[in-house]
Amino acid sequence: MAIPKRTRKKTVRARARTGLAAAPIEKGFDAVKSYFHYEIDRKDVSSQIKTYIKNTFSKSDAKAALACPEYKFVMTYLGATAFWNNQKLEETEQTKKFTDHLNGKINDMIEMGKGILIEAKQESKEEVNVVSLSPMQRLQNKINNTIMQDLLDLEDQWVEGEKTDIDVYALFKKHGLAGSATLAVRSVIEGWLLDYEDAYHKRCEQAVEGYSHLKRPELNRRIKACQDMLLDLDRIKSAAKATRKTRVKQPKAADKQIKKVKYKTEDTTFKLVSIPPIQMIGKMRLYTFNTKKRTLTEYITESTNGFQISGSSIKNFDEVNSRTVKLRKPEEFLSIVQSKTPKQINAEWNKLTTKSSEANGRINTDTILLRALDK
């Protein structure tokens, strides 16, 4: 009788656990914290913190906190703390301290998120038919999609133990970001710097434990990297101020300037007719005659914009070189003013025995606008 062949029983190997499922919770909180630093993706860290917020805080507070930008949810040791609480694992003195620290960070996020929600609500009320982003929203989107991604990549490299840094100044130029974008970036880097300095100088137990896997030289290197990035932000802000265009006030249109001018269009006694007041705008020399007081006034300006009019006053005239004189024989002298060159008029003016006085820049219903010249 043939002996039946013995067959080996097939066994199915268990699939190796990875990610959150492989967190070494049996080894305690320190092991989980270290595992999060080296093995857990940023999106899983964010997911744990968001889940903790939803399970722990009121609906309104959770909504506010979750309105914050994504970079607020990627601190690995806070993610490990959230994971520990989400799994309802044993609370120890150590985990309680880290939980208090996590709650403090979330409370800050709640305050920030409330402002974001208020702004979003106001913008939704103003929205009519077309959905459009405000300049601030467009800037925030650009920041989140450019420099913030660079910072998150740098943080990932640090988590993996790489001794890297970035040139924030060059990245701002590369992405075309303005000086107004420095504020959001500064808040992130200052947060890193505070945590690293707290760990280095042993000012915060949670920070000391959170970065216990880093040696002091590496903590010091990261502190220096954060300080250099903040200096770059200062340089960017200063450069933006230096290159900012100075707003030059443009003069009003000529027709709007003369809208309220009151002057005498014609005088039959001296047989004079005024030029249109719009001809005064932008000119460099102007002659007027007050028919009631019989005073001739010469206005001169050094302004590149020439004369400007406000109400019934002449602006930009040179108070030193402009002058007024009372004429004893107006008919004779006014004909010279209307036909001769400024040099010839000046020569005749100097022959007058009446003393000249300062011009006041006023035009009224007794004023004839005699002549306006370009020089």
Could you read off the pLDDT of 154-186 as tens digits, one per residue? 998 998 889 999 999 999 999 999 888 899 899
Whether residue 1 lies inside any domain: the answer is: no
Question: Residues of the chain with pLDDT > 70: what percent?
Answer: 91
Length of the chain: 375
Under the banding of pLDDT at 50, 70 and 90, the label for residue 331 is confident
Under the banding of pLDDT at 50, 70 and 90, the label for residue 64 is very high
**Same-domain check for residues 163 and 283:** no
Count of structural domains, the chain: 2
Nearest residue to 79 via CA among 31, 112, 47: 47
Phi/psi-derived region of residue 275, left when phi > 0, alpha when psi is between -120 and 50, beta in every other case: beta
Task: Please state, in angstroms and rounded to a whole number, the distance separating the CA atoms of residues 320 and 113.
Answer: 61
pLDDT tens-place string over residues 98-147: 999 999 999 999 999 999 999 888 877 665 555 577 888 888 889 999 99
Q: Which of 186, 208, 242 is the last residue of a domain?
A: 242
| pLDDT score at 246 | 63
Task: Please state, in angstroms and rounded to a whole number, the distance separating the CA atoms of residues 166 and 152.
Answer: 11
Whether residue 55 lies inside any domain: the answer is: yes
The pLDDT of residue 13 is above 60: no
Q: Which of 191, 218, 242 is the last residue of a domain?
A: 242
Question: How large is the average pLDDT for residues 340-345?
Answer: 91
- What's phi and psi for 19, nearest 5 deg? 65, -145
Nearest-5° angle of CA 55, CA 56, CA 59? 75
Whether residue 249 lies inside any domain: the answer is: no
| pLDDT score at 25 | 87
Whether residue 4 lies inside any domain: the answer is: no
Task: Please state, in angstroms and rounded to a whole number, the distance separating the CA atoms of residues 121 and 58.
Answer: 20
Task: Please state, in angstroms and rounded to a whole number, the distance separating the CA atoms of residues 75 and 169.
Answer: 24
Q: Which of 198, 216, 242 is the last residue of a domain?
A: 242
- The lowest-confidence range among 3-7, 84-88, 106-110, 290-294 is 3-7
Q: Are 77 and 98 in contact (CB under 8 A)?
A: yes
Spell out a b/e string for 60-77, using b for 16 or more CB atoms within 10 Å of the CB, else e: ebbbbbbbbbebbbbbbb
**Structure tokens belonging to residue 359:** 């011009």
pLDDT tens-place string over residues 180-226: 889 989 999 999 999 999 999 999 988 898 889 999 999 999 999 99
Number of H helices, E strands in the chain: 14, 8
**Same-domain check for residues 229 and 258:** no
Q: What is the SS3 assignment for 324?
A: strand
Nearest-5° angle of CA 192, CA 196, CA 201? 150
Whether residue 318 lies inside any domain: the answer is: yes
Whether residue 238 lies inside any domain: the answer is: yes
Question: How large is the average pLDDT for residues 335-350?
Answer: 90
Please give the residue range of the domain that contains residue 31. 21-123+133-242
Nearest-5° angle of CA 20, CA 188, CA 114? 85
**Same-domain check for residues 55 and 158:** yes
**Structure tokens belonging to residue 104:** 């403090």
| pLDDT score at 42 | 87
H helices of 127-253, where? Answer: 135-145, 147-159, 168-175, 182-200, 205-210, 216-243
Whether residue 7 lies inside any domain: the answer is: no
| pLDDT score at 12 | 44
Spell out a b/e string for 317-352, using b for 16 or more CB atoms within 10 Å of the CB, else e: beeeebbbbebeebeebbeebeeeebeebeeebeee
**Same-domain check for residues 202 and 258:** no
How confident is the prediction for the chain on average, in pLDDT?
87
| Residue 223 CB contacts under 8 Å (≥ 6 apart), including other chains | 193, 196, 197, 200
**Same-domain check for residues 202 and 279:** no
The pLDDT of residue 369 is above 60: yes
The pLDDT of residue 7 is above 60: no
Under the banding of pLDDT at 50, 70 and 90, the label for residue 287 is very high
Task: Please state, in angstroms and rounded to a whole number, the distance separating the CA atoms of residues 85 and 51.
Answer: 10
**Same-domain check for residues 166 and 61:** yes
Question: How large is the average pLDDT for residues 89-96?
Answer: 90
| Residue 43 CB contacts under 8 Å (≥ 6 apart), including other chains | none
Whether residue 2 lies inside any domain: the answer is: no
Nearest residue to 370 via CA among 301, 272, 232: 272
